[in-house]
Structure formats: C-alpha cells, structure tokens
C-alpha cells in the first residue's frame, strides 16, 4: 500500500437535492426530496434539511411524506445532473489521467499518477483547491477524502460530509477503523453484518482480532479473506480509468424475505431505475435486460429479454424487468433481487424512447387533489425523467414537479405542482430572488417546457423577477 495519502475520493453532497436548491432560490435552506412521486416511488436524494426529519435515500416516498409533509417533492432532472457531473469530472481529469467514476456524483482520483501530489501537504492542497473549483464552477459542495487506499479514501469522504475534507494519515488506519461498525467496510451489507453479529463480531477491530480462519468459517473463503484484509486496512486496488464495462447491474439483499408480490414488483422497478442511472453515468445504453431473483431457499434464477435496439430509457428497462418478473415464482419469499443491462453500446435506439412516450400518453393525465398537488406527476415513472413534451397536444402535457417551463409573459420558472387541470409555476432563476407563484390551465398555449438554466453565472435577462401585477 502507498505511504502517502494520494488517492482522492470525491462525493458530491446530497447531489440531486443540492442541484435543485441551487437552481431554485425559494428552496435554498429548505427541505427538498428528489425521487419518484408515484405510489411505488422511492427517495433518490434528500437535502440535509430533509434528513433532519429522518428522510433518507431508498426510503419509500410515502414514508418520506409522512416524516416531512412540508418538504418540496421533485421529480429528478437527470439531464441537468449529467451536465453538472460532466463539469465535475472534467475538473478531476485536470488533476490526473486516472479518474474512476462510480456514479454521477462520485469518483476516485489517483493524484500521484497526475503528478500533482506525492505527500500529505501537497495532497491536502489539491483537495482544498478541488473543493473550491467545484463550488466556483457549479455552485455546489463536494466532500473530499484523502488516503493511501481507495477503501480509506471513501471512508474519509464520508466522515468529511457535508462540505468538508478529511485526510487519513498513513499508519493510523487500523486505529481509525478499529471502533467502527462492521458495516463501514465495503461489501458488508445487512446479511453479512447479521452473520458477523451472530458470531459476536460487531466492529472492524473485532474482525481483525477474530483472525482470517474464523472469518473464512463464517463467510466462506473468498469473502472471509477479503474482509479480513480490509479490517487490517489492506487495500491494493488501483484507480482504474474508464473501465470497459460489459454490463451494468444493481442488486439488493433483504434482511427479511419479501413475500408480498406487490412489494417485489416495487423493488424491481426501483432497481431498474438505479440500474439506468448507472448506465447513463457510464455513458452507455444496452440491449439485454436481466432480472436476478434469489429465493428463500437460496436458489437463484436469472431471466433476460433482448430488445430491438439499445436503450437507456428507465421506462423501457422497468417494463422489461416487470415482464421478466411475471415469469418467476416468488412464492415462499425473496432474499435478493437484481436488475442488469448487458449488450452495451454508446447510443440509443430512438424508437424505444418513442415507445415509452406513447405508453405515457396512452395512460392519460392523472388528477391531483387540488392546486399545487403533485399527483399529476406520478406517471413520471417513479423517478424517471418525463418524456419531452414539446410536441405533445397541449392538454396531454405532463407537468412534472420541479421541471423547467417558460411562459411568454412571465419568463422562466419551474413546476411547483399540478392537478385538476391546473399547473402551478414559480417564476425564478438560479440568479434571481425567490419568485412569484402563478397558476395556469394545463393547456395554456403560452406555457411551454424549457431547458434548465446554468446554475452559475448571471441570471437570464428579463427573468430575474416575475411582474407583480
């Protein structure tokens, strides 16, 4: 392992929610929750203000609404998040040719390979400069971890949150890790943590004390040996730039077997959305959708479906995964679910996007409970982006909460909610004061979808404030 803390891990703070707060002056300092607004929606990101109420990522949206009923609930704008991510990754690549993105908002950087740091002082200087550059370019905050290995750098960035920097001095790693819970280590999920707890092991230090033989007995040769090495702070994994992926997948193991078929369907939909997020972050699309199901008896089934062409559309992936699930018997319970995409390409098949849009239109608009309600966005596919609305008939347009619009008289704004044939818009821009709220008919010809404005820079002329008449 290295003798200098020259591996950097960057993690943008509450990325989606922070981007929305930066874009919407009226939401700054307030609780913001981004995710799917439908009945099976889950939280993608919660702002730190929302986390104070107990809201967190992967929580069912219904539970989040009960915990924080006054928060702003928004549908993701992945196009904006990708643009910001590209800016941040560009800054990282100025530091080193070895940048390993993990998602839109997270990456490892080998500072030594870039020749910008070779000791503790230079690594600290690079980390602080990077944080300042990210804030100057995007207006957002990122937390930085510095260490001699990838595992420790990631732990350091987690400890630095929010908006901080943490350096782990080489040689102090075991003292730092010792009292930490076993779930701190990569690869230790609920099931592994439960196995270790039953063996009397609850901290990383106790893993080291137990010895490799005991870990192998509890967890098997591969997992046990790897976990023992991590407990000793041994991690020789290099930072790998632009790895050539053959597939992209996500999976979850559940503490308690899932018996409810409705919940199984909801979990598969959520995993499909997460899989597409990773697919897009890697700049890929794929032709084959794969569903993985591990049942109560540990038997594992995989089912796959090959599409007519590659896609990165969340609606298409979700529908394919749902079809695959219908062919799987989940009677008795499910321990693990996974969704993956293979047959990767760097382009998409346009007719698949049209296919998803046609499906959304066929479902018809949903009705909310009143002005400002977000029920009308539930068909936004539980966390997926709304299909482009520019060419839809006026009355058929979907107005997703948080998405950008422009009005001929009032300028740029964003959808605060819709329902009962009405859409409520707050007119403001990233560089303006908090703006006025106005309500329109959903078929108002003067109201059209718009592209997001840059987060940093002068406000758009004529859109700083809404007229007060």
Beta partners for 304?
A: 290
- Which has the higher per-residue pLDDT, 443 or 143? 143
Same domain, 404 and 434: yes
Same domain, 35 and 98: yes
Which pLDDT belongs to residue 188?
83
How many Å apart are CA 126 and CA 134, to the nearest integer?
12
How many Å apart are CA 228 and CA 230, to the nearest integer?
5
**Could you tell me if residue 239 is inside a domain?**
no
Which pLDDT belongs to residue 457?
47
Going edge to edge, which strands form the sheet with 247-258?
247-258, 334-345, 285-295, 300-311
Same domain, 337 and 372: no
Q: How would residue 103 be classed by pLDDT, with cut points 50, 70 and 90?
A: confident
Dump pLDDT digits (tens) for 348-375: 443 333 333 333 333 333 323 222 222 2
Domain holding 215, by residue range, is: 180-231
How many Å apart are CA 149 and CA 232, to the nearest integer?
12
Catalytic residue among 20, 106, 267, 319: 106
Dump pLDDT digits (tens) for 221-249: 888 898 999 999 999 999 988 655 678 88
3-state secondary structure 419-436: ECCEEEEEECCCCCCCCE
How many Å apart are CA 290 and CA 328, to the nearest integer?
13
Q: Which of 66, 79, 74 is nearest to 17 (CA)?
A: 74
Q: Look at 70-79, 165-174, 291-300, 339-348 and tell me which has the smallest mean pLDDT.
A: 339-348
What are the two backbone dihedrals, phi and then psi, of residue 407, each rounded to the nearest 5 degrees? -115, 140
How large is the average pLDDT for residues 32-41?
84
Same domain, 27 and 45: yes
**Could you tell me if residue 242 is inside a domain?**
no
Choose the final residue of a domain: 154, 171, 188: 171
**Could you tell me if residue 312 is inside a domain?**
yes
**Could you tell me if residue 464 is inside a domain?**
no
Same domain, 120 and 14: yes
pTM over 0.85: no
**Could you tell me if residue 279 is inside a domain?**
yes
Which pLDDT belongs to residue 191?
78
**Could you tell me if residue 465 is inside a domain?**
no
Choose the final residue of a domain: 119, 140, 171: 171
How many Å apart are CA 463 and CA 309, to the nearest integer?
41
User: Domain of 210: which CATH number?
Assistant: 1.10.150.20
Same domain, 3 and 134: yes
- Which has the higher per-residue pLDDT, 76 or 469? 76
CA distance readout (Å), 252 to 186, 275, 457, 461 = 14, 12, 41, 47
How many Å apart are CA 414 and CA 392, to the nearest integer?
18
Q: Is the pLDDT of residue 125 over 90?
A: yes
Which pLDDT belongs to residue 340?
94
Q: Using alpha carbons only, what angle is made at residue 341 by residues 340 and 343, rounded to the nearest 5 degrees? A: 145
Choose the final residue of a domain: 171, 188, 218: 171
> How many domains in the chain?
4
Contact 143, 165 (CB under 8 A): yes
User: Is 100 labeled as catalytic in the residue annotation?
Assistant: no
**Could you tell me if residue 462 is inside a domain?**
no
Mean pLDDT score across all residues of the chain:
84
Which pLDDT belongs to residue 193?
86
As given in the structure block, the two tokens for residue 330 are 């989940």
Q: How would residue 389 be classed by pLDDT, with cut points 50, 70 and 90?
A: very low
Q: Is the pLDDT of residue 465 over 90?
A: no
How large is the average pLDDT for residues 412-433?
94
């Amino acid at each position: 392992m290295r003798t200098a803390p020259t591996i950097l891990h960057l993690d943008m703070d509450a990325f989606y929610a922070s981007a929305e707060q930066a874009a919407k002056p009226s939401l700054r300092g307030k609780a913001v929750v981004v995710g799917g607004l439908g009945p099976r929606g889950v939280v993608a990101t919660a702002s730190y203000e929302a986390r104070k109420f107990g809201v967190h990522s992967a929580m069912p949206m219904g539970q989040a609404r009960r915990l924080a009923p006054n928060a702003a609930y928004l549908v993701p704008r992945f196009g904006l998040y990708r643009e910001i991510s590209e800016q941040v990754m560009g800054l990282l690549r100025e530091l080193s040719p070895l940048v390993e993105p993990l998602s839109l908002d997270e990456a490892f950087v080998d500072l030594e390979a870039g020749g910008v740091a070779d000791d503790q002082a230079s690594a600290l200087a690079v980390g602080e400069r990077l944080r300042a550059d990210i804030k100057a370019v995007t207006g957002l905050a990122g937390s930085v971890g510095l260490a001699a290995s990838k595992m420790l750098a990631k732990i350091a960035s987690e400890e630095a949150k929010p908006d901080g920097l943490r350096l782990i001095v080489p040689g102090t790693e075991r003292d730092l890790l010792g009292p930490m819970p076993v779930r701190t280590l990569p690869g230790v999920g609920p099931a592994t943590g439960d196995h270790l707890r039953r063996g009397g092991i609850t901290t990383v230090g106790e893993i080291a004390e137990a010895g490799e033989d005991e870990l192998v007995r509890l967890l098997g040769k591969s997992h046990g040996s790897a976990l023992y090495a991590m407990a000793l702070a041994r991690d020789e994994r290099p930072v790998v730039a632009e790895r050539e992926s053959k597939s992209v997948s996500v999976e979850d193991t559940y503490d308690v077997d899932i018996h409810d078929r409705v919940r199984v369907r909801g979990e598969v939909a959520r995993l499909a959305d997460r899989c597409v997020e990773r697919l897009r972050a890697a700049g890929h699309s794929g032709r084959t959708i794969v569903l993985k199901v591990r049942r109560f008896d540990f038997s594992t089934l995989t089912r796959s479906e090959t599409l007519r062409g590659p896609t990165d559309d969340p609606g298409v992936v979700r529908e394919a995964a749902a079809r695959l699930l219908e062919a799987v018997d989940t009677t008795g319970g499910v321990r693990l679910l996974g969704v993956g995409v293979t047959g990767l390409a760097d382009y998409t098949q346009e007719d698949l996007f049209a296919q998803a849009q046609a499906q959304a239109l066929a479902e018809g608009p949903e009705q909310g409970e009143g002005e400002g309600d977000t029920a009308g966005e539930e068909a936004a596919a539980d966390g997926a982006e709304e299909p482009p609305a520019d060419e839809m008939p006026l009355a058929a347009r979907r107005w997703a909460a948080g998405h950008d619009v422009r009005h001929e008289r009032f300028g740029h704004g964003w959808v605060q909610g819709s329902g009962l044939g009405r859409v409520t818009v707050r007119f403001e821009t990233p560089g303006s004061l908090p703006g006025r709220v106005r309500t329109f008919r959903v078929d108002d010809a003067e109201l059209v979808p718009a592209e997001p404005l840059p987060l940093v820079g002068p406000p758009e002329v004529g859109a700083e404030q809404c007229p007060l008449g």
